[in-house]
Chain A
Amino acid sequence: MERRAYYRNKLLPWLLIAPQLLLVLVFFYWPTAQALYWAFTLEQPWGGGNAFVGFDNFTAIFSDSRYWGTVLRSAFYAVVATGLSMAMALTLALFVDRGLKGTKLFQSVFVWPYAIAAPAAGVAFRFMFSPQAGLIGTINQVWPGIWDPSTVGWQALLMVIVAHAWLGIGYNFVFFLAALQMIPRSVIEAGAMDGARPFRRMLDLQLPLIAPTTFFLLIMNLISSFTDSFGLIDTLTEGGPNDATVVMVYKIYFDGFKGLDYSGAAAQSIVLMLLVISLTFIQFKWVEKKIHYA
């Protein structure tokens, strides 16, 4: 929709947008360009600036099997965490949407995880999953040594994924519930008149009708699992044991700031950027031909 009522002024609109534009240029476009520059150059060991090396940095990371391990692990992490979190949030939203007495209380609590810092959740889950402490660790009393995420890789990864899924519940729940509440009541009533019971209506009416939201959340969750896992991993496992929980973001941080390999880290950043951009692009494409049931 285009507006027709505008203010006319030569200078003012530029002044108004200048701060935002300046920030974006300095802290977004410049670093992104910088990442590109580093990704295609290599710092000379004897000084004298960076030399252009073409795709060498990319070849280097792509021929490293440990990098591929990281990519696969990140993908696994993203898919499982997304699936877990969305399934949980959707189930809760479907039941809350029925609007039974007392639902409001549940509704507000289900949003809470949104407010929690990933490192805080990390610390809490670390305690809950600690093999020595008394929650999950209790099973070690029955089968000694069966649970120890500090040495068993898959247990560590599982722990991180569960924590990530839990953190996402609040956000996903808010969107699912809003989408469900947007469905016109008359559609549900028509379903009831056609003889569909509540559970049937969930499957046949509500789920298809919120498909656009589901897809949107799917993309958002995947992106956040790829990019937003640092705080959790750093407090839960620090990438260990044996790199079992090193995902792409963590490796970028590690190679860049601990290994001081800017070019390698930049090349990895570019790969991650491309991944995120293509996910966003899929989302845009979908929005374009979003199915309108109305």
Chain B
Amino acid sequence: MIERSPLFNAITYLAMLIGLVLVLLPFWVVFIGATLSLPEVARVPLQMWPSDQLFQNISAAWIRADLGPKMINSLVVAVGVTVGKIVIAALSAFSIVFFNYRARMVFFWLIFITLMLPLEVRIVPTYAIAANALSPVQALLDVTGLTGLVQQLGGVQIALNWNLLNSYEGMILPLIATATGTFLYRQFFMTIPDELVEAAKMDGSRPMQFFVDVLVPLSRTNMLALATIMFVSTWNQYLWPLLVTTDREHFGTVVMQLKALVPAQNGTPDWNVTMAGALIIMLPPLLVVAVMQRWFVRGLITKDK
């Protein structure tokens, strides 16, 4: 710092310490709660140091919420969205930034506008489309009169149907369909100097070679940032998986199970098991953020500005 001001330094530490307590308190409560026995967790006031029931509570939560298969579902969906988004975003940004074609700006805006409306506000119709992902095609056929024509000529009723409910595709695809990643990649690709592209052209590399040999390795940091953001946000999805999976048993994710862990109104208040479940469910994204912090912070800032 510029000057010595012991008093202000003390205030700074004090403020950061209070902040630390406020930020950590929920984490601490979850952790403590997960270690307590049933009588301990029901005691008022709550004890603020850990007890020895952690593993019992975790295994109880694991069985009650069937977390094993649900973990796998969560992982499949989170990794699916992350990988899918990275691949699709990188390719589409490559198309928009490095090719000069007429429809380029139209495409850019078509994709960019999706940043404006989160999935939550268009949840009902998105659900309808998940019930039949081919309904736009069907509507197109109906409107153009093709359905009627085919029915008259061939006696066949065209009824296209691709049901995405209770499937990994249904959970994954709508979450990939936003511009976050595309925008992040575009921002990064814009910083690649023209001369580098030209040098690659002079060296004889074709578009896809340039993409694989130059762009992909150069955008590794961006990729890590995007991967972190996507993994965390997908793992934490709640409303969408809730809607799209009516078959909870096979397709439920861990986050959806949290509610099932809350003690019933008149049941045993075994919050210790609830907290143990919450602890394992929030651990994976927390670990990812803690480990990837440096990259993900940079990516977060470019993404949104």
Contacts and interface: CB of A to CB of B under 8 A. Distances in A.
Interface of A: 1, 3-9, 12-14, 16-17, 19-21, 23-32, 34-35, 38, 88, 91-92, 95-96, 98-100, 103, 106, 108-128, 130, 132-135, 137-138, 140-141, 166, 169, 171, 174-175, 178, 188-189, 192, 197-199, 216, 220, 223, 227-228, 230-231, 234-235, 249, 252-253, 256-257, 262, 265-266, 269, 272-273, 276-277, 280
Interface in B24-44: 24-27, 29-30, 33, 41-44
Contacts of A118: 236, 238
B258 A273 contact: no
Contacts of B104: 13
A214 to B, nearest CB: 13
A111 B135 CA distance: 42
A228 B2 contact: no
B117 A252 contact: no
Given A115-B286, A116-B236, A13 B95 contact: yes
B27 to A, nearest CB: 7
Interface string B272-292: 001101100110011011100
B149 interface: no
Contact of B19 (A106, A189, A257, A265): A106
A5 B300 contact: no
A119 B27 CA distance: 14
Nearest to A284: B116
Contact of A249 (B20, B121, B177, B201): B121
B275 A127 contact: yes
B76 interface: no
B83 interface: no
Contacts of B124: 35, 38, 252, 256-257, 262, 265-266, 269
A117 B88 CA distance: 25
Closest A-B pairs by Cβ, 4 of them: A134-B46, A117-B236, A31-B125, A13-B99
Given A20-B92, A108-B293, A127-B271, A116 B12 contact: no
Nearest to B24: A109
